Amino acid sequence: MKNKQIDKQLIKNLAIIVIVFAAIEFLLYGDLLTRQFRSLLIPVCINVILAVSLNLTTGFLGELTLGHAGFMSVGAYTGALVTMNLNLPMIIEFPIALIAGGLVASLFGVIIGVPVLRLRGDYLAIVTLAFGEIIKSIINSLKITNGAMGLSNIELHGNYKNFGYVFFLTVITIFAIKNMVNSRQGRAVCSIRDNYIAAEAVGINVSKFKVMAFVVAAFFAGIAGVIYGHNVGTLKPTTFDYNKSIEILVIVVLGGMGSIKGSVIAAIILTILPEMLRSADEFRMFLYAVVLIAMMIFNSSQIKQRILSSDIFLKLKKTKKEA
């Protein structure tokens, strides 16, 4: 009985993914999208990957991390250097770049994860912030990364023409994180968030799971970085500063800590919103900030609660359960 339910859920999810993908491909190949929206497809995917992976550490592990852009930059630079130095066809070098970017980023996840094991809460947040800055200044002073000038002319393997790959990677990320959270490991990670002492008391190896969450999150952030580099074609250390980390955190908070679906929706909204406000010129970022405040207030307000508990919504939920 239970298996059947899971199967049904899986089929439903797959169906949604296929429909979304087909719809976007149709729009893309039919040339029905404006170029502005076409160029937003990849950034949306990148932000989804970043937000979902940050949600693992911030939402499920319950540790505020402010260095996610650092992992992203490590992945971006590794991936870019791989494709710039390998002269292989895209189909071979791009996957190598993705894996290399992810692995190097997760290596940094270990480096950061181990020393912060003893820290929690605010202390950990500050340490991750510092690590993000350290990564930025290392990239800034290395020769291979071309210092402050950054890398340019990175092959555009990750732009809209290869949307299929990027979409596939995004789906994999969502599935991987979702399944991980629902697995034994994921429950252990959540238990650390809910009650650290109790988790330790029942024999959960807190350090191990903490590092694991960091490493997995870093891996996917690295992949997002690789796609970013191969979409824009240039990389500069200043792109991956503290603001970038905050931007990702904002998506996670807006979508709801520990909600993967929320992260996906928030990533889509927050990537497209500033572009929709282009006509406002100088007031664009001001309006964006106002909308952000309004959304945050709405998200934690009674109005939302009331809508969620209103008759229509409850009935909708009921029919969903029955079906």
Partner 1 sequence: MKKVRLVALGLATTLALASLAGCQSKSETDTKQGTDTNTDTSTDSSANAGGETYVIGGIGPLTGDAASYGISVKQGAEIAIKEINDAGGVKVGDKTLQLSLKFEDDQATPDKAVTAYNSLMDSKMDALLGAVTSGSCLAVANLAQEDDILMLTPSGSAQDITKNTNVFRLCFTDPLQGETMAEHMITDLKFKNVAVIYKNSDEYSTGVYEAFAKKVAELGGTITTAEAFADGEDFNTQLTSIKGTDAEAIFAPIYYGDASHIVTQAADLSMTLPFFGSDGWDGILDTVTDKATVEGATFLSPFFSGDKAAADFVTKYNEAYKATPDQFAADGYDGVYVIKAALEKAASTKTADLVKAMTEISVDGLTGEKISFTEDGEPQKAAKFIKIVNGEYTAE
Minimum Å gap between C-beta 279 and partner 1 is: 8
> Binding to partner 1 by residue 319, rule CB under 8 A?
yes
Q: DSSP states of 147-188 as a string?
A: GGG-B-----TTSGGGHHHHHHHHHHHHHHHHHHHHSHHHHH
Give every CB contact of residue 182 below 8 A, 6+ residues apart in sequence.
none
Give every CB contact of residue 71 below 8 A, 6+ residues apart in sequence.
105, 108, 109, 135, 217, 218, 221, 222, 225
Q: Is 208 helix (H, G, I), strand (E, B) or coil?
A: helix
Do the Cβ atoms of 44 and 207 come closer than 8 Å?
A: no
The residue among 106 and 271 lying less far from partner 1, judged by its C-beta, is 271
> Binding to partner 1 by residue 281, rule CB under 8 A?
yes
Q: How many residues bind partner 1 (CB under 8 A)?
A: 39
Site string for partner 1, 240-279 (x = CB under 8 A): -----------------------------------xx-xx
The residue among 94 and 209 lying less far from partner 1, judged by its C-beta, is 94
Of 181, 171, 169, 170, the closest CA to residue 259 belongs to 181
Q: Which of 13, 43, 175, 207 binds partner 1 (CB under 8 A)?
A: 43
Q: Which of 17, 27, 28, 39 binds partner 1 (CB under 8 A)?
A: 39
- Amino acid at site 37: F
> Binding to partner 1 by residue 137, rule CB under 8 A?
yes
> Binding to partner 1 by residue 210, rule CB under 8 A?
no
Do the Cβ atoms of 97 and 214 come closer than 8 Å?
A: no
> Binding to partner 1 by residue 309, rule CB under 8 A?
no
The residue among 158 and 262 lying less far from partner 1, judged by its C-beta, is 158
Stretch that binds partner 1, among 9-17, 52-60, 123-131, 139-147 (CB under 8 A): 139-147
Q: Which residue has the tokens 């009921």?
A: 318
Query: Which residues contribute to the site for partner 1 (CB under 8 A)?
Result: 34-36, 38-40, 43, 137, 140-141, 147-150, 152-153, 156, 228, 231-234, 236-239, 275-276, 278-279, 281-282, 284-286, 312, 315-316, 319
